[in-house]
Chains A and B, each alone.
Chain A
Amino acid sequence: MYDKPLPIVDPDTAPYWQAAKEHRLLVKRCLDCGKAHFYPRELCPYCHCDAVEWLQAKGTGTIYSFTVARRPAGPAFKPDTPYVVAIIDLDEGARMMTNIVGCPPDSVRIGQRVEVAYEDVNADISLPKFRPA
């Protein structure tokens, strides 16, 4: 039984989570200014144009910053402590929060290259986590 918070999927985000289930990482890109953004939105948050499209990201990026949680975000995360919560700069230019897995928490560094590694937490939701590339 997975007891950590699960995304409450809505019409805005359903395509993203459907793709994640298929182990594809989607971001949105503006057809006007060309910038990618994350989380996905109806309007480009940079130029406010409404011509935005889904773009399949390569799933690689660089750690922008991170923390090692020594105290859990609620009881469900307690067995995982210590664990890494990081912000990743995807190579497409968008920035997202994730967990860094597959390495000791104390080895994680800003600037480290990482790649996506999905965790299938139930039949509907797969969470894109990242591991050292």
Chain B
Amino acid sequence: MAGTQNGAREAVIVGVAELPLQDGMLLKPMSPLQAQARVAHAALKDCGIAMSEVDGLLTAGMWGLPGAGMLPTVTLGEYLGIVPRFMDGTNIGGSAFEAHVGHAASAIEAGKCEVALITYGSVQKSDRSRNLAGRPAGLTMQFEAPWGLPTPVGGYAIAAMRHMHEFGTTSEQLAEIAVATRAWASLNPAAMFRDPISIADVLASPMISDPLHLLDSCLVTDGAGALVMTTAEHARSLRVRPVYVRGHGESQTHWTVATMPDAARLIPAEVSGRDAMAMAGIGLDAIDVVQIYDSFTITVLLTLEALGFCRRGEGGAFVSGQRTAPGGPFPMNTSGGGLSYCHPGMLGIFLLIEAVRQLRGECGARQVAGAKVALVHGTGGTLSSGATCILSNH
């Protein structure tokens, strides 16, 4: 269990790093392993821990399939030249890294490892490997792939259509999220798109999969990120400001879209959020800044409702009037998120990195003043999985 009662073995995040991008691409061509090695090196340097001290290794990705990527922690550990005693290759989509933080925290607190390294790396934009095609039509996907659902946007579009039907949610309300997120991106020099946009711009952008427009959708970029975790006791010997993992939770429901229990309701986030908040022992009113996976605008709306920031069906009203924008009462996705900063296939690790930086007070123009507690929620697959972390700087 996390929390102050755990004493010296309490898990903390001490190092973060991401590789810089130009026009959504790494500054020079790299393989996914090369990118992860470089970003791991940077995250370890961030906290002053040597690679040789890493004894926990966690990663998820879609690289090297079939082949080296089939056993990703084994391939990555081999490449880095380390022999971990705790490994976790949990892949539940873009939320995997929020789950990894929970798993690493549990492992550190149980004494299964001292220093955990979590990495992600993708060169999907550089190698032009991304399109809207579905997955091979085997096993469960034989009941989805033949129908030509644009993947992943189509599944999110089906959820948005149902939410609009049940609750009267509008395209303008979804656009509020894209506009507010772009406003945060305008404050982040690393963001791919920084020019302000309006609700009218979102509605005028090309329709991709009704009712989701291009500007309701995340970017397609490269990206590499890494986190380093250790014990609070170890952190005291480092020149860092540790970020405590106060609570974590995870869940999943479906991967085939037709099997989603309720297309207008995000059950994985309900479960993971409830568990994370109970573990942290705080209420939602104690959260100063939130990072919510924004693969699409509807993802954010459903997550806000599922986590309990507003009631079911009231997400549209909650985000209206630019409430989540800089200066608004609900600072959200302060890096510019997947909609405007970067989205290298899996965004989850970048949400965590931004939350850590906010809690360290390193965010410059986009810093949320006095941020002490952050909620990070990842969503993976097609609204399939969810994992929540509650982080604090005290």
A residues sitting closer than 8 Å to B (CB atoms) are 4-10, 13, 38-39, 64-74, 76-77, 80, 83, 85-87, 95-99, 110-111, 127
Contacts of B208 in A (CB 8 A): 70-71
Contacts of A4 in B (CB 8 A): 146, 148
**Residue in B132, B140, B145, B151 whose CB lies within 8 Å of A39:** B140
| Contact flags B115-153 to A (C-beta < 8 A → 1, else 0) | 000000000000000011110111110111111111101
Contacts of B158 in A (CB 8 A): 65-67, 85-87
**Residue in A9, A85, A127 whose CB lies within 8 Å of B149:** A85
Cα–Cα, bound, A56→B153 (Å): 32
When the two chains form their complex, are residues B131 and A74 in contact, meaning their CB atoms are under 8 A apart? yes
Q: Which one of B59-67, B82-90, B159-167, B327-335 is at the A interface?
A: B159-167
- List which B206-248 residues lie within 8 A (CB) of chain A: 206-212
Interface check B258, CB cutoff 8 A: yes
Taking A67-B161, A96-B258 as given, write out 5 further A-B residue pairs in contact, using a Cβ cutoff of 8 Å, ordered by the A residue number: A9-B142, A10-B139, A69-B209, A71-B153, A85-B158
**Residue in B139, B154, B165, B263 whose CB lies within 8 Å of A73:** B154
**Residue in B134, B209, B212, B256 whose CB lies within 8 Å of A74:** B134
Contacts of B151 in A (CB 8 A): 73
A and B contact pairs by CB, cutoff 8 A, 20 listed = A5-B137, A5-B146, A6-B146, A38-B258, A39-B142, A67-B210, A69-B150, A70-B206, A71-B150, A72-B150, A76-B148, A83-B148, A85-B158, A87-B258, A97-B257, A99-B148, A110-B161, A110-B162, A111-B165, A127-B146
When the two chains form their complex, are residues A96 and B148 in contact, meaning their CB atoms are under 8 A apart? no
B residues sitting closer than 8 Å to A (CB atoms) are 131-134, 136-140, 142-151, 153-154, 157-159, 161-162, 165, 206-212, 256-259, 263
When the two chains form their complex, are residues A13 and B165 in contact, meaning their CB atoms are under 8 A apart? no
When the two chains form their complex, are residues A73 and B133 in contact, meaning their CB atoms are under 8 A apart? yes
- Least CB distance, B137 to chain A, in whole angstroms: 4
Complex A-B, nearest 6 residue pairs according to Cβ-Cβ distance, in ascending order: A74-B133, A7-B142, A67-B157, A65-B162, A8-B138, A5-B145
Cα–Cα, bound, A76→B180 (Å): 36
When the two chains form their complex, are residues A97 and B150 in contact, meaning their CB atoms are under 8 A apart? no
Instruction: Write the chain A residue with the least CB distance to B145.
Output: A5
Contacts of B132 in A (CB 8 A): 71-74
Instruction: Write the chain B residue with the least CB distance to A84.
Output: B210
Cα–Cα, bound, A111→B256 (Å): 21
When the two chains form their complex, are residues B150 and A73 in contact, meaning their CB atoms are under 8 A apart? yes
Contacts of A87 in B (CB 8 A): 158, 257-258, 263
Instruction: Write the chain B residue with the least CB distance to A65.
Output: B162
- Least CB distance, B131 to chain A, in whole angstroms: 6
Instruction: Write the chain A residue with the least CB distance to B135.
Output: A5
**Residue in B143, B148, B256 whose CB lies within 8 Å of A72:** B148
Contacts of B153 in A (CB 8 A): 71
Cα–Cα, bound, A97→B254 (Å): 14
Contacts of B136 in A (CB 8 A): 5, 8
Cα–Cα, bound, A7→B145 (Å): 8
When the two chains form their complex, are residues A85 and B154 in contact, meaning their CB atoms are under 8 A apart? yes
- Least CB distance, B218 to chain A, in whole angstroms: 15
Cα–Cα, bound, A8→B137 (Å): 6
Cα–Cα, bound, A117→B129 (Å): 35
Instruction: Write the chain B residue with the least CB distance to A97.
Output: B258
Cα–Cα, bound, A110→B158 (Å): 10
- Least CB distance, B209 to chain A, in whole angstroms: 5
Contacts of B258 in A (CB 8 A): 38-39, 87, 95-97
- Least CB distance, B296 to chain A, in whole angstroms: 12
- Least CB distance, B151 to chain A, in whole angstroms: 6
